[in-house]
A and B are shown apart, each in its own frame.
Chain A
Amino acid sequence: MRAVLVYALARLRVRRGRVLLAAGGIAAAGAMLGAAVTAAYGLGTAFDRTAARAQLPDILATFQPLPRSQVQRAVSSLANVRATSYRLQEGRQFVSAGGRSSYDATVIGRSGGGPRGYAVVKGRDLAGPRDVLVEQGLARAWRLRPGEGLLVDGLAFRIAGVAVAPDNVAFPLARGPRLWTGYDVAAQLTGTPSGTVNSALVWLHNPSLVDVTLAQARSASFGISGLRFTTRAGLHALVGQAAGIVIALLVAFSLVAIAVAGTMLAASANAEVQRRLEALGLLRALGASPGAVVAAGALEAALVAVPAGALGLVAGWVAVSSPLNRLLASLSELGPGWSVAPLLVGAWAGLVLLVCAASAFPAWRATRAPAAAALRRGDVVGSTRRLPGAGGPAALGLRMAAARPVRAVAGTVVLASAVVVILLILSIATLLLRLDSNPVAIGKRYQLSVSAPPAEASRIARLPGVQAVEPRYDVNAADSFQLGEPFSLIAYPGNHTRFEAPALAQGHRLRGPDEAEVGLGLAQILNLYPGATLAAQLPSGRELRFRVAGVVRALERQGRVVYVQSARLVAAEPDAPSELAVLLTPGASSGSVRRELESAGYFTSSTGGIAGQSVQGWASRSSGFVGVLVALLRAVAVIDAVVCLYAIAQMLALTVWERRVALASVRALGAGRRQLASVLGATAAPVALAAILLGFVLDRFLVGPLVAHLAASYATLSLRPSAAAVALTAAGLCAGALVAVLWAARLAAGGPVVHWLREG
């Protein structure tokens, strides 16, 4: 065994070029793996990780300001309560620092002890009366640091630290920034009598019994007006509305990328050991046992994979960490930091094991065949099968590919995987852009929203280019039975399908004021089905009950929407927020109608997609966010294309190496680089073409629908690649194959013919 180790080290020392090439391939796949693992873990666990660090409560109750003692009495009557904390929080405060300002800041003062409900990520916690904690989003946007000054409503504060609380998205995604101060200061700033609070944070002994506690809380809340409960799950859903679909798509894509990286690693390692068959045959001829030969194959692979894999994983982690942290920071969530390290170490161990196994397998196969076969240096021994074709360079290349069917299939699978990833990325990018800008993509048929009271509808309907106008009510409600499950109650006076009509998954469209169409996302959570009853608690505390007529595949707010007719809603909630939905006549210009409306004094906005609808006004405060994400995805597609090029080049390099005697013979007969390129091109062409076809079929019928389902089971997401994307991918792969063929032909034509001929 010691001799085998010495031999493996000696080979690595001598064949530095080959070792570096193999290490490059492993590092590239490792980088893909590292990036995918970091992204999948970081995005998938961000909320829970941040919630744990910030000691996010199991229940957040908000209400009209009340003396703390009164609220304490109600809370103390509840069972299962582990800890409580009280706050006074007030929005619309003016804050300024470093020449920037906002009128929409929320000041939060913590009353008494108990857990904090936020995590200090920089600096220290509050200590003095003029200390303030700023949320991470504000610190990033305004470049604030602990120790600097800040004014709130004219009062000077010193920034003690930077905090994160995942109970809302971060500024500037959220309309205003959040600041934490001492209770007395908050009371002073908001002009509230001392001792009053307007929110309670509750931590439970057994969080799984949260519904029981909420039911108790409702009965114990007599005298507390404007009471609303939000559970930790509800907060997760609310925050998830901002970028839930984006994150879900990225996580699903990362899972696919991990599988593809594994396939590429295995194929790369297998190809590498094919080059060493001669050396393995020699070991056998010298008397090495089959076990030692397999160990030699695995050991040599491990010696390359251990450092290269580590380097690649670290590179992938570094590459993805910064954009990942920025994305999470915008959602008030923390990056994975060092918590991803054990997973990366596990991925590294898995990578090394995979490479060793993929290397040991062909070595093991080599021990099953006569040693002479391995010593023949891998050149293909004549086949007894005849294949059609004229027998020229191209036919020779085709037959060379056919002589190694397993390799051709493996090459096809690897390239097809890369094609799937590229098509998937392009489809996701296209989908995000459509969701961001095209109302139809999220089931909306109206093009413009106008901030105006319902009475203005008839006036706007008379404007040229306008087909129909109706008030659209959008109220944040919660399920009366499971108070932690918030949703949007969307109402039109008449038939809502004229203005927005997500696809019907079950049941029928609503026909009367007592019926509702429920989004599939909400139906899954609340176990709703046609004929079931939905009890919606409105912001005023009043309750409306509807019979579920149908379930729709709404993408908006992760499917947590309910469509009803507006009459009962307006009666129960006279101040329900509304806007006017404007449907344009076919062919009318959205821009000209918008100008017309604005000249008439109306404020309009495009209906938009996820950006416009997921979080109120998100689009206006995050312009370019989707654009940056799309650019990032396209950059990943380019990296994948490079990996694809590497895979083709490696396959051809292996063919050149294995068939070097045959190629040298062809050169001796007068073939130049062009003819060699014909031979190698014909070897690569069937693999590339089959990969394009297989990749398209896999993406279209398996991976695309799978990712769409993983990302949003509550809606129908179309991740079908466009014709342009398929054409672009096919053209890119063909161009990459051509580059690889020319490179391989150069390799095959390099040096005197006799060098390789001598080995025959």
Chain B
Amino acid sequence: MGVVVRARGLVKVYGQGRAAVRILDGLDLDLHAGELVAVTGRSGSGKSTLLNVVGALDRVDSGRIELCGIRLDAASERELAPLRRDRIGFVFQSFHLLPELTGLENVLLPTRLNGRGPSPARGIELVEQLGLGAAAERLPAVLSGGEQQRLAIARALVNEPDVVLADEPTGNLDAESGREVLDLLRAIADEGRAVLLVTHEEEATRRADRILRLEAGRLR
């Protein structure tokens, strides 16, 4: 399996002067296609920060990070936007569905951002596949947490990304819904995509191919 994400010597510092905290301190990571990697660690250890820099949502202070051979640390915002749209799928703990759009419209939004017009077939297929037919035409406000998160996963997959990044995806869900979501992520990895999962739940780590613990700014 090829390396999808390669990170070397990542450093991320919060604060300045004596109050500065090196949340990532020379972190290295290789993430391969078809593997589900779970990152665990204590609160404030930098798990979400790691996910954000891998997902091109945040920048590192130093170090080198590549996505499918493309340098993220040196890319401009103009270059990062299409990478986020086409190569990365992000699943957030709090779903981040847009309240004005229906479930299906939320799923299709990334396809409409490329300016070439939407390709609804893949979105509808994902929605059906995830059992969200009834939720597709409704607004997020009237959907359950599990339905919202599954829609968010469908949205993350609609542009066929190389890597899916999930930040505590079951954190806001009940046990049953959480299990469904984790099964989905496992299935995504089995389809050949790289999945990086930040979690502190044992249930999630049991489905991972590798479990990495983030301590003192490095993965162990």
Contacts and interface: CB of A to CB of B under 8 A. Distances in A.
Given A386-B139, A671-B113, A675-B113, A760 B99 contact: no
Contact of A662 (B56, B57, B98, B115): B98
Interface in A351-392: 380-387, 390-392
A669 B77 contact: no
A383 B99 contact: yes
A760 B109 CA distance: 19
A190 to B, nearest CB: 85
Interface in B50-94: 52, 55-59, 77-78, 81-86, 88, 90, 92, 94
B169 interface: no
Interface string A411-430: 00000000000000000000
Contacts of A385: 139
B55 A668 contact: yes
A753 interface: yes
A669 B110 contact: yes
A399 interface: yes
B218 interface: no
Contacts of A228: none
A368 B25 CA distance: 47
B102 interface: yes
Contacts of A381: 99, 141
A392 B96 contact: no
B112 interface: yes
A749 B79 CA distance: 13
Contacts of A67: none
B118 interface: yes
A387 B81 contact: no
Contacts of A672: 77-78, 81-82
Given A669-B84, A752-B57, A757 B96 contact: yes
A400 B99 CA distance: 9
Interface residues of B, number: 42
B139 A754 contact: no
A754 B100 contact: no
Interface string A727-760: 0000000000000000000000100111001001
A754 B141 contact: no
B110 A384 contact: no
A336 interface: no
Contacts of B35: none
A666 interface: yes
A675 B59 CA distance: 21
A252 to B, nearest CB: 44
Contact of A754 (B52, B97, B118, B155): B52
Contacts of B118: 390-392
A392 B113 CA distance: 7
B105 interface: yes
Contacts of A662: 96, 98-99
B74 to A, nearest CB: 15
Nearest to B96: A665
A403 B100 contact: yes
B140 interface: yes
Interface in A660-698: 661-662, 665-675
A391 B96 contact: no
Contacts of B98: 396, 662, 665-666
Contacts of A669: 84-85, 90, 109-110, 113, 155
Interface string B101-121: 110111011101111001000
B113 A670 contact: yes
A281 interface: no
A89 to B, nearest CB: 78
B1 interface: no
Given A383-B100, A391-B108, A760-B94, A753 B57 contact: yes
Contacts of B104: 391
B142 interface: yes
A230 B59 CA distance: 83
A381 B115 CA distance: 28
A262 interface: no
A182 interface: no
B29 to A, nearest CB: 18
Contact of A671 (B85, B88, B141): B85
Interface string A432-455: 000000000000000000000000
Interface in B124-161: 139-142, 155, 159
Nearest to B90: A668
A392 B112 contact: yes
A380 B57 CA distance: 22
Contacts of A675: 81, 113, 115
Contacts of B96: 661-662, 665, 668, 757, 760
Contact of A391 (B52, B77, B84, B102): B102
A393 interface: yes
Interface string A618-658: 00000000000000000000000000000000000000000
A669 B90 CA distance: 7
A393 B101 contact: no
Nearest to B143: A382
A241 to B, nearest CB: 61
B112 A673 contact: no
Name the residue in B83, B105, B118, B155 with the highest tally of chain A Cβ atoms < 10 Å from its Cβ.
B105
Contacts of A757: 57, 92, 96
A752 B92 contact: no
A720 B63 CA distance: 66
A674 B114 CA distance: 10
B113 A668 contact: no
B100 A387 contact: yes
Nearest to A394: B112
Nearest to A661: B96
B94 to A, nearest CB: 5
Given A382-B139, A382-B141, A668-B90, A391 B109 contact: yes
B139 A670 contact: no
A753 B49 CA distance: 12
A131 to B, nearest CB: 76
Contacts of A752: 52, 57-59
Given A384-B142, A391-B109, A666-B109, A396 B81 contact: no
A384 B141 contact: yes
Nearest to A397: B100
A383 B142 CA distance: 9
A400 B98 CA distance: 10
Contacts of A754: 52, 57-58
A391 B92 contact: no
Contact of B139 (A384, A396, A760): A384
Contacts of A393: 112-113
Nearest to A669: B110
A665 B115 CA distance: 18
A754 B57 CA distance: 5
B101 A670 contact: no
Contacts of B140: 382
Of A383, A393, A395, A753, which is in contact with the most chain B CB atoms at under 10 Å from its CB? A753
Nearest to A391: B105
B10 to A, nearest CB: 14
B76 to A, nearest CB: 10
A670 B81 contact: yes
A138 B155 CA distance: 80
A394 to B, nearest CB: 9
Contact of B110 (A396, A670, A674, A753): A670
Complex A-B, nearest 9 residue pairs according to Cβ-Cβ distance, in ascending order: A670-B85, A382-B141, A391-B105, A382-B99, A672-B81, A399-B100, A665-B96, A392-B112, A753-B57
Given A667-B84, A669-B84, A672-B78, 10 more contacts: A395-B105, A403-B100, A662-B99, A668-B55, A668-B84, A670-B86, A673-B78, A675-B115, A752-B57, A753-B56
11 contacts: A380-B99, A384-B139, A384-B142, A385-B139, A386-B139, A391-B112, A392-B113, A672-B77, A673-B77, A675-B81, A752-B57
Interface of A: 380-387, 390-393, 395-396, 399-400, 402-403, 661-662, 665-675, 749, 752-754, 757, 760
